[in-house]
Structure 1
Amino acid sequence: MKMKDRVKVEELLTTSDLQVQSAATAWRHIHAEYVDIVDDILATLAPSGPYAYTVLPERQEGKEIPNQRIVTTIEDIERSYRNMHRYTAVVGLRPLLEINASWYTFVSGLGRARDKLSGAEADGPVIVLFPTMGSEGITGELFWTGTQQDRMEGDPANGRWADRFAVAELHESLLDAYRKGDVDSIVEKAHPDIQTGVRDYVAQTGTLVNLHTNEDLRAYLQDFYAQYSVLSIEIITKHFDDWYFFHELRWTVEAKKGPASGSIFRYHTAEYAEVTSAGLLTAHIGHGTDQLKVS
């Protein structure tokens, strides 16, 4: 074996070590949820933040999409777990898709829960992202369950996959808008009540923005593009279902103002989005890595 090939294999094994660790970390947390002991669940979190955790969404009068609140402190996360497990037991999560990266695990499948007061059980489609950032604990649990009954119809020529190809085409047009910084086109594809929770690269908090309307999204994007020029967005992973998409992207951006003006940064994001039959996003939630200065 040539030395350069040996280095490639070593790099591959190092990466896969992190992928295996990420998967083990996520499933250790999921299994702790089944046992239903909150202290054991909390023990699966990373020892330090920044954290990002989606609490159970709340239905608000006059709103089609439930309000998704994100908490970022260990105290709020503990409070959320104790409130949820007082009334609800997580019975199972049967994955149909699992993506393990060096810094997150993403699971899509059928979730099942039991109401502790009535004993009734119910299941439904769920997607959940567990950021780990290479730690042996999760730094967040970003959960969403489907809110839509109907799917995009798509081109009948695509047969049984028409709805998924319709989601794929929407995804492609969105990425094109993000590359161009076309805020109007992005917002046009957002439901008025879109729930957005993505890593905040404007205020650099290390955790997520917590936005609840398409106008909130517009304001955040305007601030982002005032601060950065997007040089490239490259796809690392993408997956299309009939009701959502998931992707991992590699961003390369140039700072436009401040002490770092002119500097080029690179980072990854991993995000999912639910799609309505009209081709609007009801939720856009995920996380991202720290930025690395590349020039």
Structure 2
Amino acid sequence: MKDRAKVEDLLTTSDLQIQSASTAWKHVHAEYVDVVDDILATLAPSGPYAYTVVPQMEEGHELPTQRIVTTYEAIEHSYRSMHRFAAVVAIRPVAEINTSWYTFVSGIGRGREKQTGAESERPVVVIFPTMGSEGITGELFWGRTQQDSMPGDPANGALAARFAVGELHGTLLDAYRKGDVDTIVEKAHPEIQTGVRDYVAQTGTLVELHTKDDLRTHLQDFYAHYSVRGIEVVTKHFDDWFFFHELRWTVEAKKGPDVGSVFRYHTAEYAEVSAAGLVCAHIGHGTDQLKIG
């Protein structure tokens, strides 16, 4: 009976994973067809939403500015604006991670400029949060901005850059566990583009940050509200230009009506890494918090 219960649990979990993947790829295929109303039909029926608008390069900046919209109306406007000028031709995955609440894909993204017909491609990462819904609650997309990868240790051969990214990930994870804001900010590009779930204001969507100073303020605010009891790795994936992880957080509230209460939640995020070992973009989402104990 115990073995049967384990198999049933496994099948229930895989049902949710397959549903998440089906939901995400239904959206991607709607993008290929290029009918905006069909694309919008793949969104979850209600928010909160989180969607990354096509980033724009501003004069005097090294990194593009990543804006995030959080309402259905703003997402609709973004899709209609983008699809007037560009079309999504293909996303060719080399990695795909499906869970009960998101799908993560990395690979090559290919697009076409409608006016000229010119096509271009580049490495991309994208998270489609579903939160277990029948549609996606967002599309968190980032294209590679850095030409070079971390050199790494030559002794690691072809995987040297990936192992170097993995070491940076380990350093940052230790810093997040300790609340070591200085180390996290030290490893951030001056123009780091950040979009992560806001557990301080509890908006249910993402906070939008554009510099390492913004990041420092956000982290100081977070650690003023919570002490971290533990961060456990559920999933991690390293490439030569980014890392991805799903983490399980356990935190204790230090402020507000729930002071002293312990909460648990998951986050799923990716981060582009420069050749100098600096995080250029840190974008992802997270689940609702669950009070435990």
Match of 1:265 among 253, 263, 270: 263
- Whole-angstrom CA distance in 1 between matches of 2:122 and 2:255: 46
Give the drift of 1:146: 0.2
**What one-letter code is carried by the residue in structure 1 that aligns with 2:104?**
F
Q: After the TM superposition, which residues 215-230 of structure 1 pair with which residues of structure 2 at under 5 Å, given as runs?
A: 215-230=213-228
Query: What is the TM-score with the length of structure 1 in the denominator?
Result: 0.99
Q: After the TM superposition, which residues 69-88 of structure 1 pair with which residues of structure 2 at under 5 Å, given as runs?
A: 69-88=67-86
Secondary structure of the equivalent of 2:269? strand
Residue 210 of structure 1 is matched in structure 2 by 208
- Whole-angstrom CA distance in 2 between matches of 1:258 and 1:58: 38
- Whole-angstrom CA distance in 2 between matches of 1:129 and 1:264: 28
- Whole-angstrom CA distance in 2 between matches of 1:100 and 1:158: 29
Give the drift of 1:264: 0.4
Secondary structure of the equivalent of 2:149? coil
Residue 21 of structure 1 is matched in structure 2 by 19
Match of 2:10 among 9, 12, 21: 12
1:26-69 Cα shifts (integer Å, max 9, x gaps): 00000000000000000000000000000000001111010000
- Whole-angstrom CA distance in 1 between matches of 2:111 and 2:266: 32
Residue 163 of structure 2 is matched in structure 1 by 165
Q: After the TM superposition, which residues 1-295 of structure 1 pair with which residues of structure 2 at under 5 Å, given as runs?
A: 3-295=1-293
Give the drift of 1:225: 0.2
Give the drift of 1:5: 2.0
> What are the ranges of 5 or more consecutive residues in structure 1 without an aligned counterpart?
none
Q: Which runs of 4+ in 1 moved over 3 A?
A: none
Secondary structure of the equivalent of 2:206? coil
- Whole-angstrom CA distance in 2 between matches of 1:182 and 1:4: 43
> What are the ranges of 5 or more consecutive residues in structure 2 without an aligned counterpart?
none
**What one-letter code is carried by the residue in structure 2 that aligns with 1:44?**
T
- Whole-angstrom CA distance in 2 between matches of 1:110 and 1:280: 22
Give the drift of 1:4: 2.1
What is the aligned-residue identity percentage?
77
Secondary structure of the equivalent of 1:198? strand
- Whole-angstrom CA distance in 1 between matches of 2:153 and 2:110: 33
**What one-letter code is carried by the residue in structure 2 that aligns with 1:255?**
A
Give the drift of 1:7: 1.8
- Whole-angstrom CA distance in 2 between matches of 1:124 and 1:161: 20
Secondary structure of the equivalent of 1:209? strand
1:247-288 Cα shifts (integer Å, max 9, x gaps): 000000000111101100000000000000000000000000
Give the drift of 1:87: 0.2
**What one-letter code is carried by the residue in structure 2 that aligns with 1:140?**
G
Give the drift of 1:12: 1.1
- Whole-angstrom CA distance in 1 between matches of 2:255 and 2:31: 45
